[in-house]
Amino acid sequence: MRVLGIETSCDETGVAVYDTARPGADGLRAHAVYSQVALHAEYGGVVPELASRDHVRKLLPLVRQTLAEAGLSVRDLDGVAYTAGPGLVGALLVGAGVARALAWALEVPAIGVHHMEGHLLAPMLEDPELAPPFVALLVSGGHTQLVAVDGIGRYRLLGETLDDAAGEAFDKTAKLLGLPYPGGPHLAALAEQGRPGTFRFARPMTDRPGLDFSFSGLKTQVLLAWQKSDQGQATRADLARGFEDAVVDTLAIKCERALEAAGCDTLVIAGGVGANKRLRARLQAMAQARGGRVRFPRPALCTDNGAMIAFAGALRLQAGQHDDTAIRVTSRWDMAALPAVSG
Ligand code: KG4
Ligand code: ZN
């Protein structure tokens, strides 16, 4: 089954074709992402109305480009998957509208995919051996969650952030250090030049039991340290390193606890912050020390993309699930409410 995947939940337009007849990463016939970073940079954050308008401009050319790269025509598609939430409603409607119209014209089924399920299943796209049960750490700009994955579509929330998401903490801290939007990758690059241990920030909520997170206090700690410092370039890098180490440590401590709580030895990381090199190395070391394993998508499939939507949609379409012709999107969506995929 050849499934077109469309992602427009925020500030990247992502399109991909996934073919279930080919196992694992070979199934990904083509994928392309157009990032709106340059468009939103001057505002220091995503402007929803501009995001929607840009998806309108970019989506159809990107669909054409992706099909051409896959060597396929639109008639070769057997299904269409699109992100139906959570995300910016106007942006989601662009992808949902195009996906629904295409599916209607081609007389193929279409399905609305949960963006975080897309992230969560992305490591399975790359590794056909990987199957539930596992524990997933979802770390993006909008979410920080630990999820027990009992099966595809069977998700139990183990813990989540009580305030800022990990990516949001990266972005806000980067902003106050004067780094360009989106801050996460810039802060990570700056941290490479910083000296570890020069600044030591708290590992929030690790001193008590539980699997929830709280990252909003960290940026304040960094701000206070910055205000008291010489505000030189070396100090900025040291602060970035101190912040990154605090986030990475906190995530690793909670991941280890979650594996223990779930009685599981496989950890899966997904979402934009999963592209962070230090986080990847730290979780790898933690999993190895426990005799378990950790799986990450390649960095390009950690951040928003159409491949994860094509893949997650294909699994559901293959199982016979699809939506009716109404165009429905939602800014909030509880993953635990998703139907299970049997088999
Ligand atoms: O999953 P994603 O692309 O979009 C959302 O669904 O939110 O995640 C974007 C988030 C942003 O906060 C970005 O700063 C962060 O992921 N991010 C990183 C890195 N690359 C992206 N944070 C830390 N280190 C990175 N290398
Ligand atoms: Zn995302």
Q: State yes or no: pLDDT of 246 exceeds 90.
A: yes
Whether 200 and 186 have beta carbons less than 8 Å apart is answered as no
Instruction: Tally the residues of the chain.
Output: 343
Q: How does strand 12-19 pair with strand 2-7?
A: antiparallel
User: Which CATH number is correct for 2-120+301-337, 3.90.320.10, 3.40.50.2300, 3.30.420.40, 3.10.450.50?
Assistant: 3.30.420.40
CA of 167 to the centre of ligand 1 (A): 5
Q: What is the pLDDT of residues 62-95, one digit of tens each?
A: 999 999 999 999 999 999 999 999 999 999 999 9
Residue 87 Cβ inside 6 Å of ligand 1? The answer reads no
What is the number of the ligand closest to the CA of 12?
1
Residue 305 Cβ inside 6 Å of ligand 1? The answer reads no
CATH 3.30.420.40 range(s) for the chain read 2-120+301-337, 132-297
Q: What is the pLDDT of residues 162-207, one digit of tens each?
A: 999 999 999 999 999 999 988 999 999 999 999 999 999 999 999 9
Q: Which homologous superfamily is 132-297 in?
A: ATPase, nucleotide binding domain (3.30.420.40)
Residue 343: pLDDT band by 50, 70, 90 thresholds?
Answer: low
Residue 165 CA, closest ligand 1 atom number: 12
Look-up of token digits 């951040």: 303
CA of 192 to the centre of ligand 2 (A): 24
Give the residue-averaged pLDDT of 11-27: 96
- Residue among 24, 5, 112, 8 at smallest CA distance from 298: 24
pTM: 0.95
Dihedrals φ, ψ of 101, to 5°? -65, -45
Residue 142 CA, closest ligand 1 atom number: 7
What is the number of the ligand closest to the CA of 167?
1
Say how far apart CA 309 and CA 311 lie, in whole Å: 5
> How are the residues of the chain apportioned to helix, strand and coil, as percentages rounded to the nearest 5?
50, 20, 35
Of 303, 304, 305, 308, the residue with max ligand 1 atoms within 8 A of its CB, to mutate for a pocket test, comes to: 303
DSSP state of 319: T
The pLDDT, as a whole number, for residue 182 is 87
- Residue among 70, 58, 63, 66 at smallest CA distance from 103: 63
Tokens of 246: 């605090």
What is the number of the ligand closest to the CA of 33?
1
